Amino acid sequence: MQVHVDTYANLRQYSPAGRGSFDLTLNSDATVSSIIDALNIPCAVKIVILVNGRRAAEDTRLEAADKITLFPPIEGG
Amino acid sequence: MQEKTIMHGWCGNVLRVDLTGGQIRTEKLDPGVAKTYVGGRGLGIYYLSKEVDPGCDPISPANKVIMSTGPLTGTAAPTGARYMVTTKSPLTGAISCSNSGGNFPAELKKSGHDVIILEGKSPRPVYIWINGERAELRSAEHLWGLTTHETDDALRRETEDKAKTAVIGPAGEKLVRMAAIINDRDRAAGRSGVGAVLGAKNVKGIVVKGHQEVSLFNPEEFKTVNGKYRNNFKDATKDNPPPLRLHGTAITVVGTQSHGVFPTRNFQQGTFESWESIYGETLTKKYLVRAKPCFSCPIACGRVTKIPDGPYQGEGEGPEYETIYALGSDCEVDDLAALTKANYECNELGIDTISMGSTIACAMELFEKGYLPESDVGMALKWGDAEALVKLVRQTGLRQEFGDSLAEGSLRLATRYGHPELAMVAKGQDFAGYEPRGEQGMGLAYATSPIGASHMRGDPAYFELLGVPTTIDPLTWEDKPPIVAKWQDVFAIIDAAGLCVFFSVRYLTDLTLDARPVGIMELVNAATGANYTLAELEKAGERIWNAERLFLTRAGFSRKDDSLPPRMTREPMPAGPAKGHVCHLEEMLGPYYKYRGWTDNGIPTQEKLQELGLI
């Protein structure tokens, strides 16, 4: 299945060719952690994960056409 | 003869400026009061409650302006850079306490003063020159009408080049209800019209040069504790570079847009189609010159920027996230150069960017719906009109043409045209850049904030959107009242200590939803020797919150004023991740009051006030 992934700030460096926004093809039983593994994001890097605009965990199961947003925790605005 | 009490962390001095009589005197800060109220925001509400009639006219001589630092301001504590300006607000009639960093607050502390109290009204324009322990009033007739940058230049020329300034621009002089006090050229005690109160008193500004370091109770212990928290920061940021350093607070757009709470079209929408053209990474790429830290700050979220060419050419600081929402998405302006230029104009004229943008957005909606005639504005006022945005900021700061109406703020503007419900305010103060329908805790925080809507009174965006310390569902409301109340109290402690929330929340609390201020306690104790227990410090935060509520109660505020516009509570969010949701404010208020020990009408009970030593 195909999902769409957006990465921001320091997480952009882990996206293909640093593009930030890209489609990714995954197995049908994929979870958020499948994306983190595919992008080789180190464990020490902290991530806020959203699936379709709602908070998700690394073990959240994905569905085709899901929109995943990854950004670092932000100290305020 | 008064006995000399040696204090540490606190200087022990209050500078009282009688503007009517042209007299300045130094009073001692009572050590008991200092410990009870900590400093900064705490001392602000202490003096405001003691000396100002809650029913007074904010722009009358009866109002006072209290500028107060905390025990960590001017020390090497991380982000020990902040001061608070407390007064009665001409925008809201509620408390105004507006916070700023930069270098002025630390310099004030190094001059040997914790607090400045400005009272009465000068017959002529003046400024206050504080050179160490000496202070004098000087004529500012020749400065009246100058911008904040021009005033900063002139004041440092007339005193000392290395002195630091906090001044008003034309907006403060002309009593624009959202006028700010600008320190160090581009840092703002921005909210609630504090600049207009200075203008009403004929005070152009304060210029200060300090000559001494802040005395510490236990310098060795302070160094150890300070080193520990700075190392924690270094360790944590080794693999996680601070987003605020990389891209400024403008990076926060990612968090709000992706959750569908990025206010757009005067809060008619929670997502902005062109958001990527105005967010932090775009700002970095196009206009960032360098990151700029406040005094003693390891984060450096400040942005020095430059628009190199075109109609909005200029240099200055900003924009920050709140400015990007207010002057950008809320007005549907996607031209980053234009909104950055509008930010520069706000800084130079001395205007709060949040209320400025929100008021223009309100005017745009009034125009869209046909309530505001083109003849009154002098032009068609269309969403996304970048040129109009810059023009209207200037008109507002100078109270010219339609700007004279905008200068009254969104609620008065919308009321004048028969639709007060279109002002996105709580207690008359404009919302920050977070949508209460998609962020229930923020809705409660806006409604119960003593200064009207503010993101700096407990900021639930941390735990509802930004992942610090963790994230809980922004759309649930049942769990929010106690968490919001706890965070409101912790923010009061941060503001009282003289610290910035950006470091404190992440590195000086226990990083749980209880946000227990362990690191702040250790730093304050090493600096002051006051030996606070954690419970005592937390109680001080609750005391400050209740003292502010008591002032509001005496000014006639109650549950009826803890409200949000009907758009937030009755009109479901039209699209995005929060689609279909309203803010459940009424359902949250009861449990919130109960948790606080207040009556159903939002009034602190006698028992609660006694417990906190407020009666």
- The one-character DSSP state at B125 is -
Q: What is the DSSP string of B373-393?
A: -HHHHTS---TT-HHHHHHHH
Give residue for tokens 């905390």: B70
Q: Does the CB of A65 have a partner CB in chain B at under 8 Å? A: no
Q: Are B158 and B209 in contact (CB under 8 A)?
A: no
CA separation for the pair B139, B124 (Å, rounded): 7
Q: Are B564 and B583 in contact (CB under 8 A)?
A: yes
The shortest CB-CB distance from A76 to any of B241, B254, B502 is to B502
Record the tokens describing residue B217, joined without a space. Answer: 């109770």
For residue A77, give the chain B residue with the closest CA.
Answer: B249
A26–chain B nearest CA distance, Å: 22
Say whether B439 sits in a helix, a strand or coil.
Answer: coil
For residue B503, which residues of chain A lie inside 8 Å, CB to CB?
75
CA separation for the pair B588, B313 (Å, rounded): 47
Interchain pair B254, A45: CB under 8 A: no
CA separation for the pair B558, B395 (Å, rounded): 35
CA separation for the pair B362, B376 (Å, rounded): 15
For residue A71, which residues of chain B lie inside 8 Å, CB to CB?
243, 251, 254-255, 258
Interchain pair B243, A45: CB under 8 A: no
Q: Which amino acid is at B234?
A: K
CA angle, residues B334, B150, B21, in degrees to nearest 5: 120
Q: Please state, for a pLDDT cut of 90, what percent of chain A lies above it.
A: 92
Q: Could you tell me the mean pLDDT of each successive run of 10 residues in chain B, 615 residues long?
A: 74 98 98 98 98 98 98 98 98 97 98 98 98 98 98 98 98 98 98 98 98 98 98 94 95 96 98 97 98 98 98 98 98 98 98 98 98 98 98 98 98 98 98 98 98 97 91 95 98 98 96 96 98 98 98 98 98 97 98 98 98 97
- Give residue ranges of B with CB < 8 Å to any A CB: 238-244, 246-247, 249, 251-252, 254-256, 258-260, 280-281, 299, 301, 320-322, 433, 455, 459, 461-462, 466-468, 471, 473-474, 501-503, 505-506, 576-578
For residue A69, which residues of chain B lie inside 8 Å, CB to CB?
254, 258
How many A/B residue pairs have CB atoms within 8 Å? 102
For residue A12, which residues of chain B lie inside 8 Å, CB to CB?
281
For residue B250, give the chain A residue with the closest CA.
Answer: A77
| Continuous H helices in B477-531 | 480-497, 501-507, 518-528
A74–chain B nearest CA distance, Å: 5
Record the tokens describing residue B312, joined without a space. Answer: 């909005």
Record the tokens describing residue B341, joined without a space. Answer: 């230029």
For residue A60, which residues of chain B lie inside 8 Å, CB to CB?
none
Q: Does the CB of A73 have a partner CB in chain B at under 8 Å? A: yes
The shortest CB-CB distance from A77 to any of B241, B249, B467 is to B249
Q: Are B167 and B204 in contact (CB under 8 A)?
A: yes
B260–chain A nearest CA distance, Å: 7
pLDDT of residue B4: 58
Q: Which amino acid is at A73?
A: P
A11–chain B nearest CA distance, Å: 9
Interchain pair A75, B322: CB under 8 A: no
Interchain pair B281, A53: CB under 8 A: no
Q: Are B99 and B127 in contact (CB under 8 A)?
A: no
For residue A72, which residues of chain B lie inside 8 Å, CB to CB?
240, 243, 467
Pairing of strands B13-18, B83-88: unpaired
Nearest by Cα to B545 from B492, B484, B504, B591: B492
Neighbouring-strand partners of residue B519? none
Say whether B23 sits in a helix, a strand or coil.
Answer: strand
Nearest by Cα to B487 from B520, B512, B519, B507: B512
